[in-house]
Amino acid sequence: MTPDRPAAAPDVADRATTGFSHGYDAQPAGRWAAPGRVNLIGEHTDYNDGFVLPFALPLRTVVAAGPQPGERWTVRSEIADQPVDFDAAEADSPGRVTGWGGYVAGVVWALREAGHAVPGARLAIASDVPLGSGLSSSAALEAAVLTALADLGGLDLPAAHRPRLAQRAENGYVGAPTGIMDQSAVLRCRAGHALFLDCRDESVEHIPFDLDAAGLAILVIDSRAPHRHADGEYASRRAACERAADLLGVPALRDVPVADLAAALERLPDDETRRRVRHVVTENQRVLDTVELLRAGRVPEIGPLLTASHASMRDDFEITVPEVDTAVEAALAAGALGARMTGGGFGGCVLALVGADRSDTVATAVRAAYAERGFTAPTTLTALPAPGTTRLP
């Protein structure tokens, strides 16, 4: 997003180092960076054991960290005046540490619960990932902290196990019933690629996503819509999907192929449940179709799938709000090849697939549509697929 701080502000990694050295009067042992993400397509499919296709953003959260004696963790953040400090007993009590510190304590809890000897540490956090915009700032924080603690403690933690641990922090300590997509994206994505993830077995394929070569760009538009009851609505969508899978006698909605959708819908008791199921089943198919097109190098042709995904979220899953619908409509009217809300919904960001030379025109059109409706002006970013979590040199 267009950052609020001046363009000449220090780089995020330098800010984390400075936060550490000022806060602790010492130099960090290392710095770890984790990106935000956007999801190209596949929304609310992850907790249905389905498919998703996110890619990492060039916006990062950086954690500078160093050891601390005993089982004690101290965390400073550039968004807080006071550090958060907790010991093993607090880390072992889910929900005890609240606010942004809860994500850090949650990672310590998840690692300890899995039997790892987590080293005491001092940490300083800086981030360019906007909070509350649906770009996975929480997963970025979890991933950077997890990777820092794993490296500092020399923990035996295979890369493929890390997303589940980070997700466990969020589900079990913070108490948000999210799926596995965001943590997988920020930990496993590769530059220049989208991550095709099967959320049932967590197998991945890195799909080349070379927007430059295709003469295209992804414009990410922060809708700036206030999150309206997002947590409760997310949980209720998840519960509805699980109930529907029970009614249909399948382990998860992933097990309903699109060819069997009509028959499955006939077995469901009400229109709302039918629409929730239709979204998930058709969205899984749209992910598979998008992957096929990308594999064949037919990038512009994914546009209609993105737009169909948005319509499904708006009409069947009912997770969009006027601001995101306006952004999608204005982007399409200004020539975007496809556009959709990305992330959990009820606000957050919209992505639009645009000709590389149309990015400014589309952004201007969205701003104009917003002004006409009296919405808070949106911010925009042109996103290229960036790397996942890394230790910085």
Q: Which residues bind ligand GAF (CB under 6 A)?
A: 43-44, 46-47, 178-179, 181-182, 343-344
CB of 347 to ligand GAF, least distance (A): 12
Burial of 263 (0-12, 13-18, 19+ CB in 10 A): exposed
Distant-in-sequence, close-in-space partners of 366: CB < 8 Å, separation ≥ 6: 221, 326, 327, 330, 331, 334, 378, 380
CB of 182 to ligand GAF, least distance (A): 5
Residue 378, amino acid? P
Cβ proximity to ligand GAF: between 17 and 309 the closer is: 309
Distant-in-sequence, close-in-space partners of 246: CB < 8 Å, separation ≥ 6: none
Straight-line distance from the first to the last Cα atom of the chain, in angstroms, rounded to the nearest whole number: 26
Nearest CA to 340 among 59, 134, 49?
134
Q: Residue 369 and residue 302: Cα distance in Å, rounded?
A: 25
- Asked about 222 being catalytic, the answer comes back as no
CB of 341 to ligand GAF, least distance (A): 10
Task: DSSP for 122-169, please give it.
Answer: EEEEEE-SPTTSSS-HHHHHHHHHHHHHHHHHT----GGGHHHHHHHI
- Residue listed under structure tokens 């409760």: 232
CB of 154 to ligand GAF, least distance (A): 30
CB of 118 to ligand GAF, least distance (A): 24
DSSP letter (8 states) at residue 377 = P
Active-site residue identified among 182, 260, 270, 315? 182
Residue 114: how many other CB atoms lie within 10 Å: 14
Catalytic residues: 182
